[in-house]
Amino acid sequence: MNKSFKYFCAVNENIHPIHDKILSRDQKESLLNQKSVCLWFTGLSGSGKSTLATELEKRLYSKGVLTQVLDGDNIRDGLNSNLGFSVEDRTENIRRIAELNKLFVNCGIVTLNCFVSPSEAIRKQAKEIVGEKDFIEIYVNAPLEVCEERDVKGLYAKARSGQIKNFTGIDAPFEAPVNPDLEILTGQQSLAESTEAVLKYLESRL
């Protein structure tokens, strides 16, 4: 038995969760007069995930729904600032975000997530942590050429020139969701149309 395993076991023996002592999700949802859910927007960089989520946040706010937007850059600027972009770090990035979502959902809050989350495996991990019934996968689908044309952050240009390595869509793969709960074609739909499509889908959930 190695030292790290012994330490892990010792630490676990000293952890005593109090999940059964805190107020329930039902109580918090009742206080907020809403149902909580995790919306997981996945798609290439530049597909419109953050734009759609922030517009949706405004529309839900106008309806009295409390939300929290979690965006890739914001999370990496704070909570996950110690992570890079290796496969291992990307997996840990999503794991932490999913655990954060679980906390927000248990507080009755609608969480809007904007993360490339490029593989089926990494999205499956997030869904398992959050819980399948609380996880809505939304594929924000725009062709690579459209995303490159937008390139508001200049990331594709840097990836094409070799300044950024392992960039999804250029030299790292993106696995499109096989069976998303909702697909939004932002290359064909306006922001207003895309937002309405999500709101319509959410009517029965919130």
Supply the residues annotated as catalytic.
117
Q: Both tokens of residue 75?
A: 């999370």
**Radius of gyration in angstroms for the set of CA atoms belonging to the chain, rounded to a whole number:** 19
Measured CA to CA in angstroms, residue 60 lies from 41, 97, 182, 193, 204 at distances of 16, 22, 18, 15, 14
Q: 176 near 139, Cβ under 8 Å?
A: yes
Q: Both tokens of residue 99?
A: 């655990």
Q: Which helix (H) or strand (E) holds 198?
A: helix 191-202
Give the 3-state secondary structure of residue 115.
coil
Hey, how many other C-beta atoms are within 10 angstroms of the C-beta on 54?
A: 15
